[in-house]
A and B are shown apart, each in its own frame.
Chain A
Amino acid sequence: MRAPIQRYRNILDFALSSLLRRKGRNLALICVYTLVIFVIASLIFFVQALKREARELLIQAPDMVVQRMVAGRHDPIPTIQAEAIRAIRGVEAVQPRLWGYYYDPVFGGNLTVMAASDQELAVDSVWVGRGVARSMRVNEGDLISLRGYGGQPILFAVQKILPEASELVSSDLVLMSEKDVRALFNFPEGLATDLAVTAGNPRELATIAAKIVELFPDTRPIMKTEILRTYEAIFDWRGGLMVVVLGSAILAFIIFAWDKATGLSAEERKEIGILKSIGWESSDVLLLKFWEGAVVSLTAFLSGVLLAYVHVFFFSASLFEHALKGWSVLFPRYRLVPALDAYQLTVLFFLTVLPYTAATLVPIWRAATVDPDAAMRS
């Protein structure tokens, strides 16, 4: 067994010497290659982690949310409809949800204001998410002032800041009692933002939804499976930014491959002739070129993936922040839990390392089969 291993190592030695001849060029190649893999792997890690959190968390979302539509827009729904829906067979509970958006003119960000029926939540007090506390620079015990519907300032005491661990769902939340929400927005009694429906048997949801639409044709039931599907489709590869990133990465890659495929110079051809004349077989030449491709692509793949992991899970994908932030003033800061998908990593491997190595091998194929006497006749 020793001889074959030595053969691989010997030829690897020569492949490295050969690569080192064009040190600058090959180093630049590895750097660009690493960068391409880094960007793609960062995206994959980031998207996978978010998708997994969405799956794990939103499985606990309401079975169904019923919205009322007026002129194609989401409109408050009369709570009286909750009674009718509760009467439908299979419905276990109907909970009106009262929530809305509040634009804070002081720091210029949007908040989500929501009514919470918690015993601990005092009147004239709020619980705020970490993002809100950060943006408004408030701590527990401070007072915040929100503008009421008539322009009058309303003061609330910050009773609690929601735990950091929940920032992924709660960053922009301002929780207050139902009475306070109605007072702030002048939200009439008897109306709610939407209705959260719980079914006894989740398999009956489709039937229940059909009955609700029949009963109230102006409503739109949104089932939990649809909520989950929304987040499966999020960051879809067809999305604008994904297309741009993947497109440029693939383009960069094609340039590499093109450079390699057409890069078989007369010099290289002559070298192959020399190697053959001193006793190398075609398979040895192919092994040499395989090593040259494999060393570059394997190093780049491993460094790219490792850097991406550190970037996404230790630095919260900070390089993407500006793209993701967009116009948001209130930007949630969540530390993602690593979600490594063996399938995605394997696909990435096969889409990057293999084509590159193949691109180095294919043009050699014909040159490697030249007659060894070519070197003599030159």
Chain B
Amino acid sequence: MIELVHVEKTYQADLATPFTAVDDVSLSIAAGKLTVLKGPSGSGKTTLLTLIGCMARPTSGRIHLHGLPEDTLPELKEGDALEITSLPERFLTAIRRRTFGFIFQQFNLIRGISVLENVMLPTYPTGEDHQRVEASAIQRLEALGLARHLRAPVDRLSGGEAQRVAIARALINDPLVIIADEPTAHLDSKLSEDFMELMGQFKSSGKTLLITSHDPIVYGSPLADRVVEMRDGRIVKGS
């Protein structure tokens, strides 16, 4: 599904103190599996996620995506591998929208806006039919037990509820890959286990999951097909 070849990311390369967050990483992530990136903070996990998720470009190296649907980009044929590091910004946004659903550590919900609208936000620029999107957003929120809060502003939600809103938002475009960055950092053990249970449901529905964490509930979970350990920007175990 995702293949990284000698990927390196250096911040502030033009300054006297360049910082290499990801250093010569080669990794292949299988479709339909749950992969955990494990490591202490500052080990380059999050940076690696942004590179895979088309949010930033690597300084060097190649990233190939396989098995994207044909309509992701014009002139893309089924089965083609797509090399994303050289694509223009516009295409990266299109791929990100169709292929990846992100669950951020800080949830990154827009304050003061209703739960429903937060979930629908990713679809706005694509010009999809409003009613259809709204119905699907309500359905997802109901499935996550948030039916009561549809029209409430997100600021009023508890941490666990806010994360479930973030999950609903990540799913609204029906992505192939779900990327979660330290999802259990702000949750207690019970909520963390609930979260992993949800991830199990997504995995069985065929989604590819990629989670960074240094929480044993995540990397020790029986759901994790593979644990990749990182330190100082390099993969030390599990590649």
Contact = CB atoms under 8 A, between A and B. Distances in A.
Interface of A: 2-7, 9-11, 13-14, 17-18, 21, 267, 271, 274-275, 277-282, 284, 371-373, 375-378
Contacts of A278: 102, 108, 121-122, 169
Contacts of B123: 10
Contacts of B108: 274, 277-278, 375
The 7 closest A-B CB pairs, nearest first, are A7-B127, A279-B97, A3-B127, A21-B112, A373-B50, A10-B124, A373-B55
Interface string B87-127: 00110010011000010101011111110010001111111
A17 B129 contact: no
A10 B125 CA distance: 7
B104 A14 contact: no
A292 to B, nearest CB: 14
A17 to B, nearest CB: 5
Contact of B124 (A11, A371, A375): A11
A213 B205 CA distance: 103
Contacts of B23: none
B121 A14 contact: yes
A274 B110 contact: yes
B163 interface: no
Contact of A376 (B104, B112, B114, B126): B104
B129 A6 contact: yes
B75 interface: no
B102 to A, nearest CB: 6
Place the interface of chain B in its size category: 20 to 34
B4 to A, nearest CB: 16
A373 B56 contact: yes
Nearest to A275: B121
A2 B132 CA distance: 14
A134 B112 CA distance: 60
Given A278-B169, A371-B56, A376-B55, A14 B126 contact: no
A3 B129 CA distance: 8
15 contacts: A3-B127, A6-B130, A10-B123, A14-B113, A17-B114, A278-B102, A278-B169, A279-B125, A280-B121, A280-B122, A282-B89, A284-B124, A373-B55, A376-B46, A376-B50
B24 to A, nearest CB: 20
B128 interface: yes
A2 B125 CA distance: 13
A277 B110 contact: no
Given A277-B102, A279-B122, A377-B46, A5 B96 contact: no
B218 to A, nearest CB: 18
B55 A14 contact: no
Given A21-B113, A376-B55, A376-B104, 15 more contacts: A5-B127, A13-B124, A14-B113, A17-B117, A18-B112, A18-B113, A21-B111, A274-B108, A278-B122, A279-B96, A279-B173, A280-B121, A284-B124, A372-B56, A376-B50
Nearest to A282: B89
Contacts of A267: 111
Contacts of A281: 89-90, 93, 125
A287 to B, nearest CB: 8
A267 B121 CA distance: 17
Contacts of B106: 378
Nearest to A9: B130
B55 A11 contact: no
Contact of B96 (A4, A6, A13, A372): A372
B125 A4 contact: no
A377 B173 CA distance: 23
Contacts of B168: none
A73 to B, nearest CB: 71
A263 to B, nearest CB: 16
Contacts of A372: 55-56, 93, 96
Given A9-B130, A17-B117, A277 B90 contact: no
A17 B113 contact: yes
Nearest to A376: B50
B181 interface: yes
A277 B125 contact: no
A275 B123 CA distance: 11
Contacts of B169: 278
B72 to A, nearest CB: 12
B93 A7 contact: no
B7 interface: no
Nearest to B56: A373
Residue from A2, A376, A378 having most chain B Cβ neighbours under 10 A: A376
A310 B109 CA distance: 45
Given A279-B96, A279-B173, A375-B104, A7 B113 contact: no
B104 to A, nearest CB: 6
A7 B126 contact: yes
A13 B127 CA distance: 12
Contacts of A5: 127
A278 B110 CA distance: 11
B49 interface: yes
Nearest to A14: B124
Nearest to A278: B122
A284 B122 CA distance: 11
Contacts of B114: 17
Nearest to A369: B89
Interface in B40-90: 46, 49-50, 55-56, 89-90
B49 A376 contact: yes
